[in-house]
Amino acid sequence: MDAQSRYHTLLRDPTRRRIIQILGEQKKIGFKELKQTLGLGVGTVYYHLDMLSDYLTQDKQRKYQLNDHGRLLYKSLKEGTLPPSALQMSETFSHRFVKWLFLSPLFAKTTKPLILFPFALIILMLGALGSALASSQSLLFFYSSFAVYQFETTAVLYLFNWISLFLFSELVIYVFFKRTRGDLQLFVCLAIASFPMALFPYIYLFFSYEIARYLLLLLQIWGVMLLSSAYSFSKGLRLDKSIVISLLVLYLNIVFLLVTGRLS
């Protein structure tokens, strides 16, 4: 990607332009102060800082400041020497269908996670209830086609799967990206991301096994996409990084099923 295209990608978002302007004017700023100035959630601020990582540096107090490339970018922005198209291009996923495919408008509201927390619990409870009604044990992105446990145990195991995913995600994101904030937002985002898998038991109840099996594949793909979106919004990871974690989760899910003999 050439410098011109790089600028287009970075500066088409007003938040990133504002971060460059704030750092250009104030020289240094801490994460907490920047978050308060922008009025955005932890994950959102982290995301934009990650996108601007080639233009930023941190001092010994971990305050953000512009590096040499960042100062040149600020100068160009201040003097208005950047092409107008750099400021007018639409956001990635600006197409309405793609935005809703990733549930971006809904995830964007999780910056205030307490508001959506009841909604997140409803999704989890519907998934647990559906799994129990269909007598189909949840194995995260897969379902066992035969009943092993009683109604209550099957429901509890569904919840256990997604709580375990939350804890695993927290660990992986901390180890590799040192992101420690946004825990409640991550939980809410993961619950929203579980919607496709929460939907499957009801499909299994009302459609034939062959139809349900093919629909499961589509729901799994959608679920991985939503999981990537959840990591991106809650922990501020770029989509390329969040997709890697999502695929790691799917890979470990498959390995576990193979080792336990639940996937042939």
pLDDT band for position 1 (cuts 50, 70, 90) = very low
Residue count (the chain): 264
pLDDT band for position 145 (cuts 50, 70, 90) = low
The pLDDT, as a whole number, for residue 243 is 92
The pLDDT, as a whole number, for residue 245 is 95
Give me the mean pLDDT over the 161-178 stretch. 94
Q: Looking only at Cα atoms, what is the longest distance across the chain? A: 68
The pLDDT, as a whole number, for residue 115 is 92
The pLDDT, as a whole number, for residue 60 is 82
Rounded distance between C-alpha atoms, residue 61 and residue 209, angstroms: 58
pLDDT band for position 15 (cuts 50, 70, 90) = confident
SS3 letters across 215-250: HHHHHHHHHHHHHHHHHHHHHCCCHHHHHHHHHHHH
Give me the mean pLDDT over the 170-177 stretch. 92
The pLDDT, as a whole number, for residue 91 is 44
| 172 or 264, which is more confident | 172
Give me the mean pLDDT over the 108-124 stretch. 92
Give me the mean pLDDT over the 185-197 stretch. 95
Residue 44 CB burial class (10 angstroms; 0-12, 13-18, ≥19)? buried
Q: Which CATH class is domain 3-88?
A: mainly alpha
Extents of the domains making up the chain: 3-88, 96-259
pLDDT at 87 over 50: no
